[in-house]
Structure 1
Amino acid sequence: MTYIISLDCVDLKDRACVEECPVDCIYEGNRMLYIQPEECVDCGACEPVCPVEAIFYEDDLPADQKEFYDVNVQFFDDIGSPGGAAKLGVIDKDHPIVEALAPRGEA
């Protein structure tokens, strides 16, 4: 089980969750943040600090956003488990579902 970042993070990337995460498992793509499921320790520290409530425990992900489980998991298909987001900075990519979304205003 893991936490999932959903649609409401796209083009927002507040980063409060990144600052709160004790294991540095929240990575930044071009348009949204992603939780590395193998690195997440399910502590839940990220969820209450998200200003737009874009973070959900896997089992609590809204039905209309279930695809964001795959979005978070598949984002790491080619980079694996880097062992900490801080050392990587912004990763110059997004999941194809996120890339296909219309812009949601100022990032």
Structure 2
Amino acid sequence: MATLVTDNCQRCRFTECVTACPVSAFRAGEKMLFIDPDVCVDCGACIPKCPVQAIYEDLDLPEHLNEWIEINARRSKVMPKITMKESPYAGAEERKSSLGF
């Protein structure tokens, strides 16, 4: 099993979660992050770091977000590794507010 990133990360890309990952499982997409399930050790250290609650253990994933299991698996194979905190996207704070955080 693995931890994964869902759609709340889109257009935010806060990266506090990346620095919590002990195995460098995060991948940087154009508009969001992904987690490589083959690298993730399911420690959950990244989950509380996400300010928009975009990260879930796959066993705790709400059913309406199940598509993100396959999306993370597929996209993480073609995106570059990210291991350091970066600035969030312009407008990320507004997106965070629109999500209710």
TM-score when scaled to structure 2? Answer: 0.76
**Do residues 2 (structure 1) and 2 (structure 2) align?**
yes
**Do residues 50 (structure 1) and 35 (structure 2) align?**
no
CA-atom RMSD, angstroms?
Answer: 2.1
Cα offset, 1:86, TM superposition:
3.9
| Structure with a larger share of its residues in helix | 2
**Do residues 20 (structure 1) and 5 (structure 2) align?**
no
- Distance (whole Å) between structure 1 residues aligned to residue 82 and residue 32 of structure 2: 15
Q: After TM superposition, what 4+ stretches of structure 1 lie above 3 angstroms from structure 2?
A: none
Asked if structure 1 preserves the Cα contact closer than 8 Å seen for 2:28 and 2:82, the reply is no
Unaligned runs of 5+ in 2: 84-89, 93-101
- Length, aligned pairs only: 86
Letter in 2 for 1:7: D
Over 3 Å counting, the alpha-carbon distance change for 1:14 and 1:76 in structure 2 is closer
**Do residues 33 (structure 1) and 33 (structure 2) align?**
yes
Which stretch has the larger CA shift, 68-77 or 40-49? 68-77
- Distance (whole Å) between structure 2 residues aligned to residue 65 and residue 86 of structure 1: 23
- Distance (whole Å) between structure 2 residues aligned to residue 68 and residue 45 of structure 1: 19
What does residue 74 of structure 2 align with? 74
TM-score when scaled to structure 1? Answer: 0.72
Identity %: 37
- Distance (whole Å) between structure 2 residues aligned to residue 22 and residue 76 of structure 1: 17
- Deviation readout 1:78-101 (Å, 9 max, x if unpaired): x49x8xx248xxxxxxxxxxxxxx
Letter in 2 for 1:106: G
What does residue 106 of structure 1 align with? 91
- Deviation readout 1:48-85 (Å, 9 max, x if unpaired): 111111100001111111111111011135x49x8xx2
Unaligned runs of 5+ in 1: 88-104
